[in-house]
Chain A
Amino acid sequence: MPSLGASYGRGAATLPQWDLANADCVLVMGSNMAENHPIAFRFVLQAKQKGATVIHADPRFTRTSAMADIYAPLRAGSDIAFLGGIIRHVLENDLWFRDFALPYTNLSTIIDEEYRGPEELDGLFSGWSAEGRRYSPASWQYEGMMMPSSLAEAFIESEGFCEAVKRLQDGPTPKDETLQHPRCVYQILKRHYARYTPEMVERVTGCPREVFVKVAEEMARNSGRERTATICYAVGWTHHSTGVQMIRAAAILQALLGNVGRPGGGILALRGHTSIQGSTDIPTLYDMLPGYLPQPHAMKPHRTLPEYLESETNPTGWWHNFPKYAVSLLRAWYGAAGNAENGFGFDLLQRMTGDHSQLPMTVAMRDGIIKGLFVMGQNPVIGGSNSRLVQRGLAQLDWMVVRDFAETETANFWRDGHIIRDGEMRTEDIGTEVFLMPASLAGEKAGSFTNTHRLIQWHDKVVEAPGDSRSELWFAYHLGRLLKEMYADSAREEDRPIQALTWDYPVDEEGEPDAEAVLREINGYTWPEKQQVSGFSDLKDDGSTACGCWIYSGVFPKAGENRARSRKPDGPDGPGTHLGWGFAWPDNRRTLNNRASADPAGQPWSERKRLVWWDEDAGQWDSPDKVDFPPTKRPDFEPDWAGKPAGIDALSGHQPFIMIPDGVAGLFVSSGLKDGPLPVHYEPIESPVPNLLYAQDANPAAKRWEHRDNRLHETGDPRFPHVLTTYRLTEHHAGGTPTRSVATTAELMPEGFCEIPTELAHALGIRSKDWVVLSTLRGEVETRALVTDRLRPFRIGNQLVWQLGMPWHFGWEGMATGDIANVLTAVVGDVNTAMHENKALTCALRPGRLHRGER
């Protein structure tokens, strides 16, 4: 999310899935798309049928690789070296789309003279503080100008930040259109990636150089005026300590090649099936409010609403509208309890004090800090990193509520868990009181999914849930209602937020709240009349509108008109944008930044790739899509700098990235990312080999939690010589609970296993179906072997590296069982997202079982 947000302005897929059919080249990397997104992969095959080149770059030969024209094997975690190599190839050979990238990216922008790159500092950027283990982005700024981020946190801790960013309103950013200036982004990029030569790519990633070059050439050949290429990624990128920067590298490449905002071009972030896009839009994340608004922070100038708005509002670009969205959200939440004195309820919002994500939460449970836990739609014993640490943490709780439709491993860790199995604890010593409550499945409740390309689709309830199964909405609503009742008479200040919360959803005779009422609130309405607003352009910052999530505004524009329920596809003669099918945020725009599909003068780059164009006669932009640009802003519009333009008025008519303060794609990102303005190849935190590119092995800024239950392997630890990657099989869904408990899916992959390269298996005397034990300093698991040629050895530098793979979604519950891969993984993560690194770690392998004699 942060990488696409920082680069293009919104942290979401830039194109709809079906637009993949218009691509001339599809690079699938960091994703096993055919297995985990088979429906989206349908459109890759449609592109293929029209002649597109399909490339899969992955550590494993998967079902996706089988469908590719080119399979580029690369070692898990070496993606930035690979992508950096392509960027270098494109720059060195002048294969980039100059007419696009020059006006539409910050390629020509001049960077502060204090900036130093990793090529000079041997793997670090300027601004690194060794004792704080963090960067200051002060030296990463534009020359003479502070660039706020387009991410949820605009504010950066830097002296005079709020004043400095206002300089954006004084005039255009410093540029050298000739690209000769040594500190322009183009020159910085060239220096930065100079060492990512094909030879170096081969040495670092293990991918044969001719394969790498072929991939680079295919990407370049299929980009430009007439052609477009798409990159699809998924958790194969995000689950790394460098995950955000991997996506950043893709974003840089696509912007250089002109593959953003155009038909068949872009970056498709493949989200998880369980409305993962929706759960970042209206987040289950601790640091964001709905619609990518920053959660107030105790250490930032967020004491009052005006202070919060002042520090977080970008002077230029669309985010200048931030106060409207923040105030409308507060109105939706606190209704009449909000007033000018309490900042429409802002004073009632809790402040965060640090990282409250799942990884530190796990550690905090283990250390007895967290006492109670709700587990909803999750199975942390299976899915959480370092499962033994998770289980030890759960055992320290006073109480835990698990809501699921089947008994999960989390719900019965106290009986069957590893800590019991291994004799570390006895069931009778675990004091955690567990409440297992039955939850209903999708078809048993009404609601919406937000899919991978921001498409909100409503689903009706079709069957009654069995027994006492209830929806999440029912649970959350009644929990809130009961809490409000319990605290109704309290006079304590800390109970005010609960008392003030608007909590008046209508319920049916069974107590089930009306899900559409929630969607109506998300869409927004006028206050206090409660007339639906037609979209986010109606929202105000004076408290006269309420809106639960501004980017979703427009999904329910009139009473009775739920656009998420709309099911009108384009027929065979239609344009193929399918504007009548569901509702895509924002404002039903299907391709983001689609102004970029036209040249600066407003004409399509080519007839073949036509999507948006300026209609001079009508004086407006025209498109079969909704235009992601002010509808009547002329292509030749220039801001009137004398009048200190603000917001969107400070962007010209040929700056398509309206969410970014300077209106162009950020190749070099000055703020918002905590581990550098440009992607650098670092080894995973656990790697069998040192970093061949820099002296710095792993990402210095990555999140690590030192804990005796979470010990990490040193680089090249001979006890743990193999690379391990974890993944999911298409046969199982989510953490496996939905499919392991159903016979028809359980039989397809009935047992857990570890994939082992044939040569390594031979050397160790392992055959398919034999038992093997994998171990790390976090724990040991036993599982079946599946010996396969689909995993191959890698020669990294002068070292032969073997890679193992283990699906992570097995457990002891259900019909398809197996040991838990996450027992092996560690609690470490990306500094920007606190996302764990479960795709690349090191481990040991031996044939046999854990408990000998026990069969």
Chain B
Amino acid sequence: MDGGLAHRRVLEHTDLDPQKPIPQEAEITAGCVIEPGRSYGFFTDTTLCIGCKACEVACKEWNSLPSEKGPMTGHSYDNTGELGAHTWRHVTFLEKLDGATTMPPYQSNWLMMSDVCKHCSPAPCLEACPTGALFRTEFDTVVVQQDICNGCGYCVPACPFGVVELAKEDGKAHKCTLCYDRLKGGLEPACAKSCPTDSIQFGELSDLIARAELRVAKLHEQGQPKAYLYGTPDGPGTGEGLHHLNAFFLLTAQPEVYNLPPKPTRPARNARPSFLAGLATMAGLAVAAALVGVGRR
């Protein structure tokens, strides 16, 4: 029989009081120690996703987010619709049935993906935020400080993925914090911990990327040639100025069917051409004003 499933360190804690917190619990549940100064993120492997939505529920429960119950959408099994102020994990469902009975290994024909804030590097929302409410944490994640945000709303159109949203209730911008509070306590984020199939993996970014690349190679070998990574440096999901996504994905179909832009860019890159063209115009018009002699008597 195969070896055990548990992390070696579990054995240190089996005789302890179950009420007692386990220091650096993430090492046991996710295989990584959480320390300030390192980059953390999510690797969401859609081929393992069974669409159970446990991540959505775990996220709402941990972060005390209100539910937004609406009528059913009719969009397959997706009734949450999209990420938003109160929905920080959202599972997409797209039926791509072609009547096939023999399918590539792992998820196929009914595509499900647990979407989340990408914690981009650089992060357009953070770059847009005029108040500094959005900041990069010591774990290289992007978080909104609710006591600073004044609801200017500029981060909302800045986000290339439609993640950030102003809450109707308080008008502040809200989004996934990558469980900043849990990371500080050495705990794996709630969604990743609740994922029964390890479709959502939390870890140090370099480890995750290495793991993901191996997974892609393995999938190609096992008969899923369409597998690719979305959001790793310079790959799909990144574009001009947008170097990588700390929360990246393994997909098997084109990004659009998961509602992801294929090559998002860093919006701040547009500021300079727009401003300079405008200033040149103004200079020209100022000269024109002088030439017209608006002040001449």
Contact = CB atoms under 8 A, between A and B. Distances in A.
B14 A580 contact: yes
A167 interface: no
Given A41-B196, A61-B97, A750-B79, A66 B50 contact: yes
B52 interface: yes
B169 to A, nearest CB: 14
A530 interface: no
Interface stretch (B63-71, B144-152, B275-283): B63-71
B48 to A, nearest CB: 6
Interface in A798-838: 815-816
A816 B69 contact: yes
A575 B104 CA distance: 32
Contacts of B67: 743-744, 746-747
A790 B110 contact: yes
A534 B124 CA distance: 65
Interface stretch (B5-13, B132-140, B231-239): B5-13
A751 B1 contact: no
Contacts of B222: 51
Given A48-B105, A51-B222, A578-B4, A63 B112 contact: yes
Contacts of A18: 5
Interface in A519-564: none
A426 interface: no
A572 B7 CA distance: 6
B50 A41 contact: yes
Contact of B68 (A211, A580, A611, A747): A747
Given A65-B110, A67-B107, A788 B95 contact: yes
A263 B1 contact: yes
Nearest to A19: B1
A42 B196 contact: yes
Nearest to A43: B5
B24 interface: no
A30 B174 CA distance: 43
A72 B50 contact: no
Given A61-B110, A748-B57, A768-B74, A569 B6 contact: yes
Contact of B101 (A73, A753, A815): A73
A454 interface: no
B25 interface: no
Interface string A62-88: 011111111111000000000000000
A274 to B, nearest CB: 18
A67 B50 contact: yes
A788 B106 CA distance: 21
Interface string B1-30: 111111110110010001000000000000
B113 to A, nearest CB: 12
Contacts of A624: 1
A66 B70 contact: no
A225 interface: no
A610 interface: yes
Interface in A443-489: 460
Contact of B71 (A70, A731, A751): A751
A255 B51 CA distance: 34
Interface stretch (A32-40, A118-126, A192-200, A636-644): A32-40
A18 B5 CA distance: 9
Interface string B182-208: 000000000000001110000000000
Interface string A563-579: 00001111111111110
Query: What bracket does the count of chain A residues touching chain B fall in?
Result: 35 or more
Nearest to B69: A747
B72 interface: yes
Contact of B74 (A71, A611, A786): A786
B1 A576 contact: yes
Given A45-B48, A69-B102, A576-B4, A568 B14 contact: yes
Contacts of A72: 101
Most buried by B among A460, A572, A578: A572
Contacts of A19: 1
Given A38-B196, A71-B103, A573 B3 contact: yes
A753 B72 contact: yes
A92 B71 CA distance: 54
Contacts of A63: 50-52, 77, 110, 112
B197 A45 contact: yes
Contacts of B54: 38
Contacts of A69: 102-105
Contacts of B1: 19, 22, 263, 575-577, 610-611, 624
A261 B24 CA distance: 39
Given A70-B102, A792-B99, A748 B80 contact: yes
B108 interface: yes
Nearest to B4: A570
Contacts of A574: 3-4
A754 to B, nearest CB: 12
A769 interface: yes
B97 A789 contact: yes
B187 to A, nearest CB: 18
A65 B61 CA distance: 29
A118 to B, nearest CB: 30
Nearest to A68: B103
B109 interface: yes
Contacts of B72: 749-751, 753, 769, 784, 786
A38 B4 contact: no
A67 B104 CA distance: 9
Interface string B74-114: 10110110000000000000010101111111111111100
- A38, A67, A575, A753: most-surrounded residue (chain B CB, <10 A): A67
A821 B143 CA distance: 45
A741 interface: no
Contact of A576 (B3, B57, B97, B104): B3
Given A38-B52, A790-B95, A211 B101 contact: yes
B77 A749 contact: yes
A12 B80 CA distance: 38
B56 interface: yes
Contacts of B108: 66
A750 B71 CA distance: 6
Nearest to A768: B74
A139 interface: no
A41 B5 CA distance: 15
Given A66-B50, A789-B95, A575 B4 contact: yes
B48 A34 contact: no
B31 to A, nearest CB: 11
A34 B52 contact: yes
B163 to A, nearest CB: 19
Most buried by A among B48, B69, B70, B108: B69
Contacts of B79: 747-750
Nearest to B59: A744
A140 to B, nearest CB: 37
Contacts of A746: 67, 69
Residue from the set A64, A789, A815 with the largest chain B CB neighbour count within 10 Å: A789
> In this complex, which of A38, A577, A815 has the most chain B Cβ atoms within 10 angstroms of its Cβ?
A38
A303 interface: no
A745 interface: yes
B20 to A, nearest CB: 13
A842 to B, nearest CB: 25
Interface of A: 18-19, 21-22, 34-35, 38-39, 41-42, 45, 48, 51, 54, 61, 63-73, 208, 211, 214, 263, 460, 567-578, 580, 610-611, 624, 729-731, 743-751, 753, 767-769, 784, 786-790, 792, 815-816
Interface of B: 1-8, 10-11, 14, 18, 48, 50-54, 56-57, 60-61, 65-74, 76-77, 79-80, 95, 97, 99-112, 196-198, 222
Given A42-B198, A214-B102, A747-B70, 5 more contacts: A570-B6, A571-B7, A576-B1, A748-B53, A769-B74
User: Which 7 pairs show the lowest CB-CB distances between chains A and B?
Assistant: A570-B4, A768-B74, A743-B67, A66-B110, A574-B4, A747-B69, A569-B6
